[in-house]
Amino acid sequence: MSRALFIIDVQNDFTEGGALAVEGGAAVAAGISRMLAEHPNRYDHVFASRDWHDADNDNGGHFATNDPPDFVTTWPRHCVAGTQGAEFHPELDTSSVDVQVRKGQGKPAYSIFDGVTDDGATLAEKLDEFGIIDVDVVGIATDYCVLASAMGAVDHGRKVRLLTDLVAGVAPESSAVAVASMGAAGVVIATSDSSSTRSASTEQES
C-alpha cells in the first residue's frame, strides 16, 4: 500500500495579495515545503491541485458577472489558466510533486477529484494505479476545496488524515465547521509532526 499527500490549491490567488486571498496561505506554502524537506520519504506520491479556470467565460457560473459575488457559489475572477494568479505560491517547493491535477476548466470545481492530471487521467484512476490507501490532505482553503477534497477521498474509500497546521481557511467559523464535518465523516484530525509514525488507516483502526 502506498501513501500520498494531497496539496490543495496553494496558488498565488489564494494567498496574501491574491484575488481571493486567504490569511495564512503563504505560511501554509512554506510549512508544506518544510515538512517535505524534513521528511523526504514520508510519502510515496505527492499530488498538487490547482484551480485552472477559463479566461473567456464565467466557468459555469463560478465567476460572478452581472451581480457581486456571494462568496458561496459565485466568486471574483481567480486562478485563470496561464496567469500568475494560477501559479503555485513561490514558497511551495514543487520539486516533490509528481502528479499535478488541474480543476475547473470551464465549470465549478472544488474537490481535487473534480480535476484531471496532465496526461488526462482522473485522480481516482491514479490512486488505483499507485495502490494508494492512505492520504494526508493539506492546503487552501479549509472550508472549501480542502473540505471537498478530503470528503472526496473518503467517498473513494481512502483512509484520510487532515494536517491542521498546514491548512488555511476563509473564515474561522466556517473552517471549524469544516474540520468538524471531516472528523464526523471519518477523517483523522492530526498535525504534520504527528503524521510520520502512524498511517491514517492505523489511526482509524485504533
- Per-domain boundaries in the chain: 2-205
**Helix (H), strand (E) at residue 193:** none
Task: Say how far apart CA 196 and CA 140 lie, in whole Å.
Answer: 22
Q: Please give the model's pTM, rounded to 2 decimal places.
A: 0.91
User: Band of the pLDDT at 100, cuts 50, 70, 90?
Assistant: very high
Amino acid 19: pLDDT: 92
- Looking at every residue in the chain, the average pLDDT score rounds to 92
Average of per-residue pLDDT across 76-83? 94
Average of per-residue pLDDT across 109-131? 95
Crossing angle for the helix pair 147-155 and 172-184, to the nearest 10 degrees: 10
Nearest to 52 by CA among 93, 109, 98: 109
Average of per-residue pLDDT across 53-76? 89
Q: Which of 13, 51, 103, 143 is an active site residue?
A: 103
Is 3.90.1150.10 the CATH classification of the domain at 2-205?
Answer: no
> Is 145 a catalytic site residue?
yes
Nearest to 142 by CA among 188, 175, 189: 175
> Is 58 a catalytic site residue?
no
The CA-based angle 53-75-168, given to 5 degrees, is 90
> Is 79 a catalytic site residue?
no
